[in-house]
Structure 1
Amino acid sequence: MIVTTDLHHSCTNAHTGTSASAPLAAGIVALTLEANPKLTWRDMQHIVVRTARPLNLRAGDWVTNGIGKKVSHSFGFGLMDAGAMVRLASNWTTVPEQRKCVVFYPARYKLLQLYTDGCSSYSRNKVGYLEHVQAIITLTAPKRGDIQIYLTSPSGTRSTLLAKRARDTSRTGFREWAFMTTHNWGEIAVGLWTLEINNDGWDDAELIRWDLVLYGTATEVSNIGGTPSASSSSLTPRSLSSKVRTRYGALWEDTSAAFRKTAAKFGRNLPQAVIFGCGSYEKFKKK
């Protein structure tokens, strides 16, 4: 929840949902792009994952993936850290080209496990380190909402691709439906992948086909991209030690104190996760 303006010239401390998160995320991305306008969409995703902070976010599904990053189906990799993203972007080196490795599931087999070498036999398709992972699934079901699908990586990270949905009464099943997860970001692609399908319905469902699609890089990005500052890995809020000049001359600065004053009006402190790393522009004067 965030503090923001409300109806009738008042404020609220209970604004939440995508109406709050989408514009905040867009603003942070804009600041990051001003610090480095050469960033690609994949660069931005790498920066978000590497600087995200799982701070004060309560959920029962937090796990640690194969590269030691905490990840949740409710909160992803955590809160976006605007200050850390701007600093990391200013020294970022563009990530290598994205590669795609497709592992086909032979229809004659019913075992739901696939071993992949990350397409190492094909140099142009070799995926050593993961970004996005897709399971392309075709199945039939008397009630589609009863189907739950999970994918476990060679590193042991279990992703929920599809949760149970009581109101999904469709009988059409899924035809070459692409389910995606980013919870394996940075993990090694090579190894045994396991697809798990649970059917809580009254009749049988049939898996007809599934293919595994791996997107990522041949080399490890942590050795190529920018290097986060030592403080960005800490889970304690802090003020920016210095101002960062963005593309158009505006200065990024910490304004967390202003948010604390706003929170005081409501008679309680806001979660540190909300006030961390807020920023503002100084008025930009044309030369």
Structure 2
Amino acid sequence: MPIDVAKALAAEPRTAPLVWGHKDVQLYHLGLGAGVPATDPGELRYTLESKLHVLPSFATVAGAGMAMMGGLAVPGIEVDLAAVLHGGQTVTLHRPIPVSGEATQTSGVSAVYDKGKAAVIVLRSEASDADGPLWTSDSSIFVRGEGGFGGERGPSARSEVPGREPEFTVERPIREEQALLYRLSGDWNPLHADPEFARLAGFDRPILHGLCSYGMALKAVVDTVLDGDVTRVKSYGTRFAGIVFPGETLRIRMWAEEGRTRLTVTSAERDDAPVLADTVVEHS
């Protein structure tokens, strides 16, 4: 069997150094579409080094690492990368991410679930610096054709939105070149840049990175619900429900509750086709 669950769970965690500075943070924010209008004080928090704060989803690209793909190289896991999908992502903040820093990231497999026709591998990465823990990041990796081994099915991550109209609805355009800019933060998958590769994968043109949509949605919550204060975010989780193309528009609906905001993210041009689902930001 390509996945040896016991061996994967027992494997020694991998450690790697992470180093980032203000230019990495600014590039990441620009890749999410920040900076429009360029002189807006709210946007300068994402683009101007003297006013800079760090969106917590930066944890997914800090150090320009690919923790998700690196985690698939652990002993006990031998899968066809063509069968791999990024199913979900959660980042839990232990304190605000500094504008520049050096940290150590420890990564390993925390769970393997049997979904019948597929397996779900949960890769956990924890980052700490000299002052202690910074964040914990969980990536849920969906591997088609690797289920049916008799393992636990795992918890349901479903998060139903309230049965009322959302408190906020915003639309965020995706620039034509946005995937080309976002990939400079570390995800070089040609699916997001090369039209020929995208066609081989079954798409008529390159698609936007799921983690770019993830960051765009968090920025919308911070700007709309949290008064622009990134330090209020405690955790942020989502399930990747569909694709979106550069040039389209994300429609982000937000239901504000005590201590959390639930949201849905869809493509406005494709009859609200789902992009992110079961999405929750926990905050103060």
After TM superposition, is the score higher than 0.5? no
Which of the pair has the greater relative contact order for Cα pairs under 8 Å at 6+ separation? 1
Per residue, is there more helix in 1 or in 2?
A: 2
Larger radius of gyration: 1
Per residue, is there more strand in 1 or in 2?
A: 2
Q: TM-score range by the shorter chain?
A: under 0.3
**TM (normalized to structure 2)?**
0.23
